[in-house]
Chains A and B, each alone.
Chain A
Amino acid sequence: MNKNSNLYTFIYSSVMVILVAAALAFTNGALKERQTKNGDIDKMSQILRSVKIEANASNAERLYNETIQNVYLIDHTGAILESDPRAAFAVDIAKEVGKDVSERKLPVYEAQVDGARKFILPVYGAGLWGPIWGYIALNEDKKTVFAASFSHQGETPGLGAEIATPAFQQQFEGKSMFRENAFTSIAVVKSGHKADGKDAVDAISGGTITSQGLEAMLLNSIGAYNTFLTSNSTESNQHENQ
């Protein structure tokens, strides 16, 4: 057969593409389960970090099950949409923050740490180069921050990437999301400065855009929980779930 003919070239490329597609589909199928599990474990350790529990790949699942008592989805009015923990855990927060507040499905993780109840809320926003996200753990009063953990995809090392360091995250501890019962979020300001009417943490010098992105992320993501956080009906929530 003439190797330079159009027909040969055509058949050759078709067969090749089909074979490659089959090989890739097979690899993906064979490894899918493991990959999803890795992703879940990674998410669990990030959630645990927001209540100051350091987990690694081998003990994340156990610690998560011990610590997290309840996971559910609420809407912006605080009503429960979904009380199945698995479904709530699987919600893609990146998609939810893009929607209008009234349409968002908001996950809440209830944790038991040293005998006290904490509410862990996921946050998601944009940094300088890519997405940034994290988890904020609020104390039982649903106002003050117990601890926070942030992650990022590709912020500049030494600058924006510093949001993932304990030194930055520890600043959030004890800060309040509320002033006089009104939601204010937490500002991220130039070190030494103060924000009017709200609590603030020091921004990262040289990481201005990432710091601003983080501030916007808190305002947008936590703001959606406003009604849930100001209501005192947590007891009834618990009964419904039990």
Chain B
Amino acid sequence: MKPLSKGNPVLVLVLGICSALAVTAQVKPALVMGISVVVVTAFANVIVSLLRNSIPNRIRIIVQLVVVAALVIIVEQVLKAFAYEMWKQLSVFIGLIITNCILMGRLEAFALGNKPFESFIDGIANGLGYAIVLFIVAFFRELLGSGTLFGYQVIPQALYDAGYSNNGLMILPPMALIVVACIIWVHRAINKDLQEK
């Protein structure tokens, strides 16, 4: 379970940052994005792993890309049919899963050299590692930026009456970077072996 913490794709390998910025203003889209990435990484890993002995070495990156792209489009189509509101909100970022470095990284580094089942687990673990970070970032951004969680008001009205106001800066993309940085800071403070000398 290394990808969840010490080998976390976002916190340690710093992959997939772009989408972490874009969809984390609220918890719900972040969660849907997380689940989509878990599904795509897991199945892309399995498919590439099944094909690993037949893929011509010279075009393996292209093959990986085609597999990922096909899966992402299927996920997008399914969302559009069954979760239209979500699809509208995430729109282009679903497509951008294709360029998420976590995917290509795992396909290249793991699925090409391992059996389908191990690849499946690896895909899920890495997807979850990504989803967890997205969730934490979105949790703080929505709580401090809008005073809500999953769209429900959690900060009581009394606090607003007492002069508290939402921090509009949290909603803007730069704060996602700063929140990610804070999480990395905490993470490294706990896991001292990750610190560079």
Contacts and interface: CB of A to CB of B under 8 A. Distances in A.
Given A3-B57, A12-B54, A158-B168, A24 B84 contact: no
B101 interface: no
A35 B63 CA distance: 29
A17 interface: yes
Interface in A7-35: 8-9, 12-13, 16-17, 20, 23-24, 27-28, 31, 34-35
Contacts of A9: 56, 58-59
A38 interface: yes
Main DSSP-derived SS at the A contact region: helix
B63 to A, nearest CB: 7
Contact of B81 (A31, A57, A157): A31
Nearest to B26: A157
Contact of A23 (B25, B57, B74, B85): B74
A9 B54 CA distance: 10
A38 B56 contact: no
Given A31-B80, A31-B81, A42-B88, A3 B56 contact: yes
B70 interface: yes
A20 B82 contact: no
Interface residues of A, number: 26
A233 interface: no
Contact of B78 (A17, A31, A41, A42): A31
B138 to A, nearest CB: 13
B66 A27 contact: no
A169 B78 CA distance: 33
A10 B165 CA distance: 61
Contacts of B80: 31, 35, 38
Of B56, B92, B171, B172, the most chain A CB neighbours within 10 A belong to B56
Contacts of B81: 31, 34-35, 38
A235 to B, nearest CB: 39
A157 B171 contact: yes
B36 to A, nearest CB: 15
Contacts of A39: 84
B77 interface: yes
Contacts of B85: 57
A15 to B, nearest CB: 10
Interface in B128-173: 168, 171-172
B190 interface: no
A8 B56 contact: yes
A4 interface: yes
B171 A42 contact: no
Interface of B: 25, 54-59, 62-63, 66-67, 70, 73-74, 77-78, 80-82, 84-85, 88, 91-92, 168, 171-172
8 nearest interchain CB pairs?
Answer: A38-B84, A31-B81, A34-B81, A9-B56, A20-B70, A157-B171, A35-B80, A158-B168
15 contacts: A4-B58, A9-B59, A12-B55, A12-B56, A12-B59, A13-B62, A24-B74, A27-B73, A27-B74, A27-B77, A27-B78, A28-B77, A38-B84, A57-B85, A158-B172
Given A4-B56, A35-B80, A42-B84, 7 more contacts: A3-B56, A4-B58, A13-B59, A24-B74, A27-B77, A31-B78, A35-B77
